[in-house]
Amino acid sequence: MRRPRIGLTMDLDEVSGEYQLPRSYAEAVLAAGGLPIPIPYAGEPAAGAYLALCQGLVITGGAFDIPPERYGEARRGACGPQKALRTSFEWALCDAALAGRIPILGICGGMQLMNVVRGGALYQDLGEDLGNRAHEHTRAAHDWSAARVPAPRDVACHAVAVVPETLLARLVRADSLDVNSSHHQAVREAGVGVLVSARAPDGVVEALELPDLPFALGVQWHPERLCGRDARQLAIWQGLVLAAGDVHA
């Protein structure tokens, strides 16, 4: 049986000059029945050529922020480091995948990119904009309002409420999901045609999707780090691979 080819965007360590991709992404695709295809970023014209090799696409997360100018704002001091070349390349990939109705999954910053590509906006920093630091790789000691302590990246640290009858709800078959958390930005305004499909207890957007497409889902957490412990997290990857199987490339 052929495995659908799933493209995974890579990061570049500009000091060492090495491309990087956490193994958990490739392992999640393999566990879901797909074949991971690492995609090193290049100029925007290469995006279409890369996409032609794949039947599905994952925009991975990373320790950088989308330039606020991309959503019509001036950069403020709390905004984190940027990788303009990676953002431009992933923007082109994402735009082409959405236009071509290629199944796409956005992870953490990848979800934020999907939203901005569709004309949405972000909080540049949850701490500065909302006084909320609860999503920065921490977990509550007792409950959501409690003092927060560091959490391993492969351990869930808070729940999200899943909107019924959404793609996410159909995949995880639950109205609540425990997730990890490692972000200081979040969706502020949903883009055109973007449906919010999960929120954290404090109202922060945790998942979004594009109902007009066969499979276009973004999640703010990292399901690739949880799918070995939680079959519902693996179901997200299986949904992507299943949708990719319907694409002839």
**Residue range 65-85, pLDDT digits in tens:** 999 999 999 999 888 999 999
Answer whether 0.85 is exceeded by the pTM: yes
Q: How far apart are CA 87 and CA 94, in angstroms?
A: 10
Q: Which of 90, 206, 209, 224 is catalytic?
A: 224
If pLDDT is split at 50, 70 and 90, which confidence band does 147 have? very low
For residue 150, pLDDT over 70 is answered with no
Is residue 222 annotated as part of the catalytic site, yes or no? yes
The distance in angstroms from the start CA to the end CA of the chain is 16
% of the chain beyond a pLDDT of 70: 92
Is residue 108 annotated as part of the catalytic site, yes or no? yes
For residue 144, pLDDT over 50 is answered with no
pLDDT in tens, 218-234: 999 999 999 999 999 99
For residue 195, pLDDT over 90 is answered with yes
Return the bridge partners of 125, or none. none
What average pLDDT does the structure give for the chain? 91
Instruction: Break the chain into its structural domains and give their ranges.
Output: 5-244
If pLDDT is split at 50, 70 and 90, which confidence band does 91 have? very high
Q: How far apart are CA 9 and CA 20, in angstroms?
A: 9
Contact 112, 82 (CB under 8 A): no
5-244 CATH fold:
Rossmann fold (3.40.50)
Contact 249, 5 (CB under 8 A): yes
Is residue 54 annotated as part of the catalytic site, yes or no? no
Residue 143: the pLDDT is 44
For residue 56, pLDDT over 70 is answered with yes
Q: Which of 108, 135, 158, 206 is catalytic?
A: 108
Tell me the mean pLDDT in the region 109-120. Answer: 98
